[in-house]
Amino acid sequence: MRLKLYRIRSLTVENGKTAFIELDLEFEGNRAFVIWDSIPVGTFLLKARVEIDPTLLQTSGGRGCDYLYCGELVLPRPQNN
């Protein structure tokens, strides 16, 4: 199954400062996921995905991004794993 990738822009807090972040976004049925990281392994692509609330997505008319996420985007930190 091949999924269509979109781009998402959201606010996030990094080191106590608010910043915009852009990530890939994909849908699976009614669910939405941001792609936090991906790595090719042979002919496969392993993805670290974070599920988000699709009702908080708004279509964007801007360049370089298809959606804006109006919720809190909390991404895992490697140092916390």
Q: In Å, what is the CA distance from 10 to each residue of 15, 39, 72, 79?
A: 16, 23, 8, 22
Q: Where do the structural domains in the chain lie, given as residue ranges?
A: 5-73
6 vs 14: CA distance, rounded Å? 23
| pTM as predicted | 0.78
The answer to whether 76 and 17 are in contact (CB under 8 A) is no
Amino acid residing at 6: Y
Reported as a single tens digit per residue, the pLDDT across 3-61 is 677 888 887 777 778 878 889 999 998 999 999 888 999 999 999 898 999 999 999 87
Which tokens in the block code for residue 8?
Answer: 């998402």
